[in-house]
Amino acid sequence: MHNIVMDNYKDHIAIIGSGIAGLAIGCILLKEGVPSIIFEKHSKLGSHGAGISLSPNALRVLRYMGLEDEVEKISKLSLTTKIQDNTKTLYSSSSNVRTTSREMLYKILLNKYKSYGGRIIYNHELRKIDSDSSKVFFQNNSNFVVKHVIACDGIKSISRNSISESASTPSYSGYSAWRGIIKSEDNSINLHLSKNSHIVSYPIDNEFTSFVAVIKTANEYKEAWKIEGSTDEMKADLSMHSIKLVSKLAKSNEVFKWGIYKRPDVNKLFVKNITFLGDAAHPIVPFLGQGGCMALEDAYIFGKLLTKYRDDIAHAQREYKRLRAPRLRMVKRMSETQGYLYHLSNPLIISIRNFLMRNSSSTTEKRLMRIWDYDPNNDLK
Ligand SMILES: Cc1cc2nc3c(=O)[nH]c(=O)nc-3n(C[C@H](O)[C@H](O)[C@H](O)COP(=O)(O)OP(=O)(O)OC[C@H]3O[C@@H](n4cnc5c(N)ncnc54)[C@H](O)[C@@H]3O)c2cc1C
């Protein structure tokens, strides 16, 4: 097929990727009558068979988007968050975090997007963006001239190549992970800490619990979401945890393993006529469960700004950077610190950490509140 340049989207905002950020900003723009279109590389909505936790800052965004009832229907409100070191409880508090499956979160965003008449052009894998001519090129040889590009193409973003090749070069974070889903009616978020490792689990519905087990290791696994491993291999990797706990996780029908990789941030959050959101802009290590929450915040803030300044997109971009950059830096820093605290190996430092967790829960909560209390409408006033 020859390259065909079609310009029927030249008045549209092109959103690359129908993940959390892409669907959320699609909803916000269409609700306000800003013509938008999503291009997605897959042939349908992704099904990841994994969980996601939504802290109050993300729930606020979803409420402002009119999705409160839908979120309540598809998620569990965890009654407690408990942190344990082997069998000892270090920290326990009531929780107002909702947990669900990624698939259900995608579904309610997609339904909302469709309810505004939104369209997704599937099987369109971005190849490159020409930021001078605002043209997007896809692997299937189709090209479109668009008004503006919002890059929401996730952790392995191709849009980042518009900045430089090195902007998308991954580097191993030092952490590899296992995930699976087990039958359990436990209604809490549980964190188990052990030497160089932590395991987090939470309900995704009334019947099933999702878990992610992370180990600090020089033995890096591939960066892939769907590489199946064996339960024996997982048990060996998690030998620092109690046999009882690991045997429970090994009941998962299938377990997946992958390496957690980092990429440099997109410093400016925009380049010419491209604006970056979510993981495409600022990939963060997942130890505070904030990647998806930040994607929702980004989408809400840039969606509202673009609506307000639709005739001066460059101004919307500058405001987006001004409002988001400090917060994103803080959340990234806190996630990295959490990664350090969750994967200690020195027994003395572990006992200091455990003492502090047991005796200064208010400090832990205060730290979290800096993230959870955020209200994007205060920023937009
Ligand atoms: C182990 C783990 C646990 C996590 N737990 C949590 C949690 O509890 N809470 C939380 O908030 N976050 C969590 N996260 C992070 C969260 O999953 C991500 O930050 C979030 O999905 C980012 O949203 P996004 O929209 O930027 O990208 P995604 O949701 O990944 O969407 C990207 C979309 O772009 C599409 N795409 C990619 N490349 C192209 C291309 N070239 N052309 C067209 N389309 C393309 C993809 O198919 C996909 O649909 C976790 C992450 C990990 C690894």
pLDDT tens, residue by residue, 219-277 = 999 998 889 999 999 999 999 999 999 999 999 999 999 999 999 888 889 999 999 99
- Residue where the block lists tokens 């996601």: 52
Q: Which domains does the chain have, with CATH numbers?
A: 4-47+105-169+263-380 (3.50.50.60)
Whether the CB-CB separation of 286 and 252 falls below 8 Å is answered with no
Whole-angstrom distance between the N-terminal and C-terminal Cα of the chain? Answer: 49
- 373 Cα: distance to centroid of ligand 1 (angstroms): 23
Q: Is the pLDDT of residue 47 over 70?
A: no
Residues 6 or more apart whose CB falls under 8 angstroms from that of 73 comprise none
Half-sphere exposure of 99 (CA within 13 A, CB side): 25
Reported confidence tier of residue 2, pLDDT bands at 50, 70, 90: very low
Which of 39, 41, 81, 223, when mutated, tests ligand 1's pocket best, judged by the most ligand atoms within 8 Å of its CB? 41
Q: Atom 11 in ligand 1: which residue has the minimum CA distance? A: 292
Summarize the confidence of residues 350-367 as an average pLDDT: 87
Summarize the confidence of residues 338-366 as an average pLDDT: 91
pLDDT at 361: 75
Which of 152, 214, 297, when mutated, tests ligand 1's pocket best, judged by the most ligand atoms within 8 Å of its CB? 152
SS3 state of residue 43: coil
For the stretch 359-368, pLDDT in tens is 887 777 888 8
- 97 Cα: distance to centroid of ligand 1 (angstroms): 19
For the stretch 57-107, pLDDT in tens is 999 999 999 999 999 999 999 878 999 997 789 999 888 899 999 999 999
pTM attached to this predicted model? 0.96
Nearest to 298 by CA among 273, 312, 319: 319
Ligand 1 contact via 20 beta carbon (within 6 Å):
yes
